[in-house]
Amino acid sequence: MLEQDLQFVEAAFKKYYFEHFNLLSIPIRASEREFGYQKFNGGMNRHISIKSNEELRLMLITNIPSDVYCSNAYYSFPNLPMSEKDWKEADLIFDIDAKDLNLDCRREHTCIKCFSCGDVSVLQSTCPTCKSTKIEKKSLTCKNCIDGAKNEIIKLYSILEEDLDIEKEKIQAYFSGNEGFHVHVTNSPYNQLGSRERNELVDYIMFRGAMPETFGMKKFQPARSSFVEIDAKGWGGRVSKHIFGSKSNRSKAITEIISNGYSVFQQRLDNLKETIGVKIDPNVTIDIHRIFRLPGSLNSKSGLSKVLCENIDKFNPFQESCFIDDEKTNVLANCPTQFTLKNRTFGPYKNEKVSIPKYAAIYLICKGLANTILIQG
């Protein structure tokens, strides 16, 4: 980030933490958690102990971080090196990101920035200006991406509540501030699970490694009576509903499955993973020492806040997570696709000087698609 952009964004972030500190608060059992932060154009600072909101406020105002983090794990000594922290347990956290959904709309709002010449263009495999393959993809998330991520959250909630018997009050969904959501599960019976057990849990939630025998199909001498009923709980019922469609169609569908054979049914289950499995980032849930973006803090990839979704169906991140003010700001914008914030649509811009609200300017600068214009005089 250029020096003038760095100063501009840091000032906006500092103002946000002054005016909207009420959106942040230390989580439960904060004294047992590890905190961390990253500065613009700087490295990560970890192994920090914070015990109160006053200490958190001091850290934010003193350092003006680009990103603020907190562990899902609880330690005896959170400020010591990892090998000396004495891990106790960790909340379950799931990451659902639009980039992992493989939606068709991604091509329409993803552009590339060339590392070699700095040119920005619509999505393609090489830079159209210098033909370099050293490019970085920049995505400006759309409503369809958010809706797709919301659908995954709804599927996840169903499994957590119905299959894992987790109380709804212990599950909270947060918009990450960029392209997806974090689902936090606190104070559950699964806090004690280690990485290996969490990996098995991830396999279950993502519907990975499903075996035909689980749903009634045997490799040798399959029996019609073995197939799971359509109203059964868990994955058995979900798979039956998807394959049979209805109870009246169950007998006909079973005849077809038996006729096609074991391997065909196995392939059908493998394909179902993309349809009914929840698309979470497995590495995030498995890692019991990870630090996560602190709710209420700003995301340096967008300038948007990580915020709690009280009603996931009605939640609009382009409105409800955008807290930077609307002061008119002059920038040199190079963004070949449109984006929407606070019910306003911006772009496309082709290397042009524009006057836009500060929140939109911050968004573009954080994406690497604009630079502030220095006022001469």
Enzyme catalytic residues = 95, 97, 281
Supply φ then ψ for residue 49, to 5 degrees: -105, 125
Look up tokens 């920090």; give the residue: 48
Answer yes or no: are the C-beta atoms of 370 and 358 closer than 8 Å.
no
CB 98 within 8 A of CB 145: yes
Contacts of 97 (CB under 8 A, 6+ apart): 149, 176, 179, 180, 281
**Sheet order of strands, 349-357 included:** 349-357, 328-335, 370-372
Bridge partners (DSSP) of residue 292 are 70
Gap between the Cα atoms of 357 and 67, Å rounded: 22
Residues 361 and 326: their CA atoms lie apart, in Å, by 9
Q: What is the CA radius of gyration of the chain?
A: 24
C-alpha–C-alpha distance, residues 199 and 22, integer Å? 36
Tell me the C-alpha distance between 76 and 194, whole Å: 17
Token couple for 6: 């760095």
* AA letter at 61: I
In terms of residues, how long is the chain?
377
